[in-house]
Structure 1
Amino acid sequence: MTEKLQTQTSGTDGPRYLGSGTVEGDTRSLTGAPPSHLPPRLAITLWDFSWYTRAEAGGPYADLDPACARAAELGYNAIRICAAPLLLFGGLGLDSLAEDLEIEGLGTAPDGGIYGRGTRWYDAPGGYRLNLRERLLRLFDAAERHGLVILLASWEYQQSPVFAASPQWFEAIDAVPLAGRYRVLGDAWDRLVRFLTEAGHRERIAMVELHNEVDFSILPALADGGTEQVQRLRQLHPDLLVTASYGKPPHLAMHTVPEGLGAAQFHVYSYGVLDALQQRIDIRSEGTEGFPNAALRALLRAEAPSLAGYGRLAAWKYRATVVTDQMFYGYDWIDPAAWDTWLDKEYRPYREVMRREIESRVVAVAAWARWKDVPAVVGEGWIGYTPLRGGFEEGPAGLELAEHGIRTALAHGVWGMVLCSNAAPHHPMWADAEWQQRMNDLILSLPAG
């Protein structure tokens, strides 16, 4: 439409000028320049905390070298992880635990299976111990061998400690007064960066995030001490990108994002039809009387136990994660085929809205990053949290939305992006090699200039 208006003529006067709003600028150049030692574009796979919580024998991260090798084969050049800075370097008396961390997962249910069996990210069987400091170095060593850089974040005030057998990790970080949590994070990151630097891995650090999704974690608002710590870390490590991430950035009021972030690492989700289903079955609440309701019961597998029969996780684990008891029950016992059938049937009226929402959010984030002259990254996206075996996001509708997000991000100068939050070794989408390779080729082949 814009091109047509620009070339429309009026008599013999030549092209009509219909206002500056009809003249499109070139938004493809990067919103801000990354450090010169880093790749010109980032194709990111999201390994979150799973790189240490799914390291059981035969698990997706049992051996980090082949996991990194496969990521490189699929075209990725970056990994985003929880580096557990508070556990490793928080100065909270957790050194012994960090060197001998027992991974339990969410625990064993009354039927003998694990809690979280039907969820993404939480389906951790546990049953092993690890030295997380040594494992972090092994990850960086493997990343170096396979040409990968690493984005460092913390999920500790959101969910990482829930997978431990002991509540010690969670209780130690929870004992930090709310107003002091960003300061403790800042100190921990400074020590962790120095640790990696001494090991020769400084240039493999693509980004340091004070914390993942500060707006959905047990933290104050970022403006209440968070950006101060980001700026302090930037001064201590001026060659590194330091920031914090938002789970739901204020797309309609980006001017309210606090000053001082070294990068725009924001997440872009459009729940749309998924949100309609979640509200219908009341799966994200906790303590709802009469749960599960009739709509959810209609989607459960025949062998699903009652809520009482399902049992409960250890009480401290509910405090250590933002996921609710109703989500664990619902996702563990949902019939994935029934779930997908509902979404496929109801999707059509939401399709255009979801496409536009993804596009508008990416554009808003990128425009803010260009204004601040910082690199932009979409570290999570595009649809939202679905059951482990649900295939909607891996199917035609989900892949179309993901590709739309990727192409929009590239068109607006976003430096790095995930293909989808579920494109990682611990998710079924990892098996779709052709789509991942094609999308990663698209990202990495685009000039940065």
Structure 2
Amino acid sequence: MSVPIDTARPRVITLWDFTWYTRTGPGEPFEDLDRAFDQARERGYDTIRICAMPFLLFRSGLDTSALGLGPLGGDHGQRTRWYDVRHSTTIDARAHLLELFRAADRHDVGVIASSWEYQQSPAFAATPQWYEALHAVDPEDRAVVLADAHADLVDLLETEGLAHRLLLTELHNEVQVGYLTDGLGTGRGDAAVRALTPRLERGIARFRERHPARPVTVNYAGVPVGALSALPADLDALVVHPYVYGVLQELVDTFGLRGPVEEFDDERARELLRPHAPGLAAWRPQEWRTRATIMALPELYVHDWCDPDAWDRWLYDRWGAHRTATEQKLTLWLEAAADAAAARGIPLVLGEGYLGYTPLHARFEEGPVGAELCRRALREARRLGAWGAVVCSNAAPQHPMWSDVALQRECAAIFTGRDEPAPVS
């Protein structure tokens, strides 16, 4: 195990994911990094969690000095959370990463470096080369290659005098629900968690060979309560994403948002859609882009074309039947995760949460029900001694929830145990 993480200071995390480099155009949330960091500090955050694009920068073999990025094409994704990239841009990816760390240093913000590359980052590239390079790696070797890429990143940060800003390295985001599971034949549940462990342990061992003093881990979608004993033996932190879904899961199941395209019922979905929405068959992003993201096409389509008020009404109408079970599930998941972390003597991090994935302009999670779920999660995280937690996955510059400064400051204060800040004027 590496040098233990300093857990004396609880870390309030804002999820900048891959958006910090996909949305740097005019008027975009990361056009000005210093402004984004200023806003984060104003809201009570002291940590960002990002896709550091490690494979692209260090192991793809691609020239990243003029990396083209942009939307999915046409108006695809423009009403979908995380996918609403507005402008085509060109960045020097390595220089941009270093500037992020320099800005983090100026603003005294820590960084958790991860990778979304086997989930969706390459979908926003101008060409499919990044995606193709990732998938040219044998699935058995992907965790090891990611480990070397992250180790290369640490080498660079050390050379530039910025490594003190790196708090934790995650080999990859949500390891059991992306392309790291290729070839396992297990699906994306607890069986995938168990089957992945040998691959992940090889990756962690590789990273430790190169940087034995640097904390390293992976992170998991949800809380894999049925497989916590099967996680890699040598993690430096337990990072989980307690999305509890509840009523949102009923919506996903009712409308087949994560099912096969051929089983999607366009007419059934009309209950959620805006008038004159095209059918799914008439609405398709470029084929390679749909392969470069793990998001199911029916879900992307409905998020793009839904009436946000209809979506929220559907959830509010059914929330009462789910409330008790949802709150109990959140507490149970967090207690199970905290117990597993304590048994290993490592800190717990809530890297994402807490309701689930909603359309860009839906407001259920920012409204009275979802906001109280965020407060509840932060109270529980504080009670259980978590080292780090998000206020909400949607509490970041690329989401409308960023404008609710008061809620974010309140939740940050709940988690850190500090006095609640003065109201925002």
Tell whether the structures are fold-level matches, with TM greater than 0.5. Answer: yes
Contact 1:153 1:209 in 2 (8 A): yes
Deviation at 1:326, TM superposition (A): 1.0
Cα distance per residue 1:2-24 (max 9 Å; x no partner)? xxxxxxxxxxxxxxxxxxxxxxx
Q: What one-letter code is carried by the residue in structure 1 that aligns with 2:286?
A: A
Query: After the TM superposition, which residues 18-167 of structure 1 pair with which residues of structure 2 at under 5 Å, given as runs?
Result: 35-36=5-6, 40-90=9-59, 92-94=60-62, 96=63, 98-108=64-74, 114-167=75-128
Aligned to 2:384: 412
Contact 1:215 1:248 in 2 (8 A): no
Contact 1:34 1:40 in 2 (8 A): no
2:224 is aligned, of 250, 253, 259, to 250
Cα distance per residue 1:178-224 (max 9 Å; x no partner)? 11111111111111111011111111101100000000110134313
Query: 2:379 aligns to what SS in structure 1?
Result: helix
Aligned to 2:254: 280
Q: Which of 221-230 and 254-263 deviates more?
A: 221-230
Alignment coverage as a number of residue pairs: 405
Q: Structure 2: how far apart are the matches of 1:33 and 1:368?
A: 20
Q: Structure 1: how far apart are the matches of 2:8 and 2:76?
A: 40
Q: Which runs of 4+ in 1 moved over 6 A?
A: none
Q: Structure 1: how far apart are the matches of 2:264 and 2:390?
A: 38
Contact 1:250 1:257 in 2 (8 A): no
Cα distance per residue 1:91-143 (max 9 Å; x no partner)? x311x1x21111122111xxxxx210111101112311111111111111111
2:153 counterpart of 1:192:
yes
2:357 counterpart of 1:385:
yes
Q: What one-letter code is carried by the residue in structure 1 that aligns with 2:171?
A: L
2:397 counterpart of 1:421:
no
2:303 counterpart of 1:342:
no
Q: What one-letter code is carried by the residue in structure 1 that aligns with 2:71?
A: G
Q: Structure 2: how far apart are the matches of 1:210 and 1:416?
A: 18
Deviation at 1:34, TM superposition (A): 5.0
Contact 1:89 1:188 in 2 (8 A): yes
2:145 counterpart of 1:176:
no
Contact 1:270 1:382 in 2 (8 A): yes
Q: Structure 1: how far apart are the matches of 2:309 and 2:403?
A: 19
Deviation at 1:33, TM superposition (A): 9.4
Deviation at 1:256, TM superposition (A): 1.9
2:341 counterpart of 1:369:
yes
Q: Which of 232-241 and 436-445 deviates more?
A: 232-241
Aligned to 2:402: 430
Deviation at 1:444, TM superposition (A): 2.6
Aligned to 1:234: 208
Deviation at 1:403, TM superposition (A): 1.1
Cα distance per residue 1:307-332 (max 9 Å; x no partner)? 2332x111111111101211121111
Contact 1:336 1:390 in 2 (8 A): yes
Cα distance per residue 1:214-250 (max 9 Å; x no partner)? 0011013431321222133234323322000010332
**Distance verdict in 2 for CA 1:39–1:149, change over 3 Å:** farther
Contact 1:281 1:293 in 2 (8 A): no
> RMSD in angstroms over aligned alpha carbons?
1.7
1:351 is aligned, of 296, 317, 323, to 323
Contact 1:33 1:375 in 2 (8 A): no
Deviation at 1:289, TM superposition (A): 3.8
Query: 1:382 aligns to what SS in structure 2?
Result: coil
**Distance verdict in 2 for CA 1:33–1:43, change over 3 Å:** farther
Q: Structure 1: how far apart are the matches of 2:242 and 2:4?
A: 21
Cα distance per residue 1:241-274 (max 9 Å; x no partner)? 2000010332144212221111101111101000
Q: Structure 1: how far apart are the matches of 2:88 and 2:264?
A: 35
2:277 is aligned, of 304, 325, 336, to 304
Query: 1:386 aligns to what SS in structure 2?
Result: coil
**Unaligned 5+ runs, structure 1:** 1-31, 109-113
Query: 1:269 aligns to what SS in structure 2?
Result: coil
Aligned to 1:13: none
Aligned to 1:213: 174
Q: What one-letter code is carried by the residue in structure 2 that aligns with 1:391?
A: R
Contact 1:35 1:240 in 2 (8 A): no
TM-score (norm 1): 0.87
Aligned to 1:398: 370
Q: Structure 2: how far apart are the matches of 1:52 and 1:291?
A: 35
Contact 2:246 2:322 in 1 (8 A): yes
Contact 1:249 1:266 in 2 (8 A): yes
Deviation at 1:379, TM superposition (A): 0.2
Q: What one-letter code is carried by the residue in structure 1 that aligns with 2:271?
A: A
Q: What one-letter code is carried by the residue in structure 2 that aligns with 1:152?
A: A
2:289 counterpart of 1:317:
yes
Query: 2:108 aligns to what SS in structure 1?
Result: coil
Contact 2:216 2:235 in 1 (8 A): yes
